[in-house]
Amino acid sequence: MVKGTWTHTTVLLNEAISALQLNPDGHYIDATFGRGGHSRLLLSQLSAKGRLTAFDKDPEAILEAQSINDVRFSIRHQGFMHLNQLPEASVAGVLMDLGVSSPQIDNPGRGFSFRNEGPLDMRMDTTRGQSVADWLHDASVEAMTEVIRDYGEERFAGLVAKAIDRHRLAHGSLQTTAELADVVASAVKTREPGKDPATRTFQALRIFINAELDELQQALDASLKVLQPGGRLVVISFHSLEDRIVKQFIATHSREIYDRRAPFAAPKLMQLKALGRTKPTEAEVAGNPRSRSAVMRVAERVGKTA
């Protein structure tokens, strides 16, 4: 694999590491290594006893991680739902930086962007699974409508799905990002100022093909198991679907839960303490416009492990 020259600016870098309230001797998780911005800063603040374990599905991220020559650091070529493989109450903090990295977006060969023509792929892990082109080849209009509506919040989802179907019948399967972008533009006649008509459809297909929301939910659940009492959960999300899941997860586990079917039973104890949210400063957004939608939510593990 050829290492590209595309760069990535880490969002909320100092804020995220500060939110973890590092214990220099602790074991920490970077659940989405990306290009390693958070990992490198975190490592710089650990003692010789500290450890950092990172996860990532992207082979290019794994290649980047190999440049970190540090015995305290290890990388796993896995999605972050595999946090559940770690021992119970074994880590002092979990950091999740969700979404797509700039190198993934900017490299046309990955197929994430409608701005530059490339193969219609969008897989985070290019070594396995079905590409978007493969899925669109056989998907029904109903299935496409559901995915584009639910994961892209696209009000023209039905029109987009029908346009894709017409294209398949007339010209064969979609193979490139440019083809898909053109088909979507033919179906989406209006859009918010400055927003490309294909934005929501591309987001929806990427989230679906990588099962991003399901994996996020599994990773959040696993964090309750692996975090030590007092350990911090820090999650940076970039769109409303992700942030809604994170917000609801923290809210659910930040209160005692009573079983209405057993009114005299002891409640399920609170497992997290919500510590608020942070957004990028105006200066960060000016320097890195891709940070503008970021929201960081922080919670602390309390009580005994589940």
* CATH code where residue 51 lies: 3.40.50.150
Nearest to 136 by CA among 177, 106, 107, 98: 177
Is residue 219 located within the same domain as residue 73? yes
78 is a domain residue: yes
Residue 136, Cα to own-chain centre: how many angstroms? 22
State the alpha helices, DSSP H only, in the chain: 13-19, 37-44, 59-65, 102-106, 132-138, 141-152, 157-171, 177-187, 199-209, 212-226, 240-252, 282-287
Write out pLDDT tens, residues 248-266.
999 999 986 665 666 665 5
* CATH code where residue 183 lies: 1.10.150.170
- Among positive and negative, which fits the CA dihedral 204, 205, 210, 211? positive
pLDDT of residue 2: 40
Expressed as residue numbers, the domain containing 243 is 13-103+212-301
Q: Which of 209, 226, 256 is the last residue of a domain?
A: 209
Looking up tokens 């053109």 gives 182
Eight-state DSSP code of residue 267 = P
Domain count, the chain: 2
Is residue 23 located within the same domain as residue 85? yes
How far apart CA 42 and CA 52 sit, in angstroms, is: 8
Is residue 222 located within the same domain as residue 99? yes
113 is a domain residue: no
Q: What pTM value is reported for the model?
A: 0.90
Write out pLDDT tens, residues 16-62.
999 999 999 999 999 999 989 999 999 999 999 999 999 999 999 99
Inter-residue contact 84 to 225 (CB < 8 Å):
yes
Q: Which of 193, 209, 225 is the last residue of a domain?
A: 209
Using a 10 angstrom Cβ sphere, with 0-12 exposed, 13-18 middle and 19 or more buried, the burial of residue 90 is middle
How far apart CA 231 and CA 9 sit, in angstroms, is: 26
Mean pLDDT for the stretch of residues 154-166 = 97
Residue 221 clears pLDDT 60, i.e. is over it: yes
Mean pLDDT for the stretch of residues 279-288 = 93
Eight-state DSSP code of residue 306 = -
Q: What is the crossing angle of helices 157-171 and 141-152, to 10°?
A: 140
Largest separation between any pair of C-alpha atoms in the chain: 65
Is residue 22 located within the same domain as residue 73? yes
Q: Which of 157, 191, 209 is the last residue of a domain?
A: 209
Mean pLDDT for the stretch of residues 190-219 = 91
Q: What amino acid is encoded at 75 in this protein?
A: I
b vs e for 190-224, b when ≥16 Cβ sit within 10 Å of the residue's Cβ? eeeeeebbbbbbbbbbbbbbbebbebbebbbebbb
Map residue 265 onto helix, strand or coil.
Answer: coil
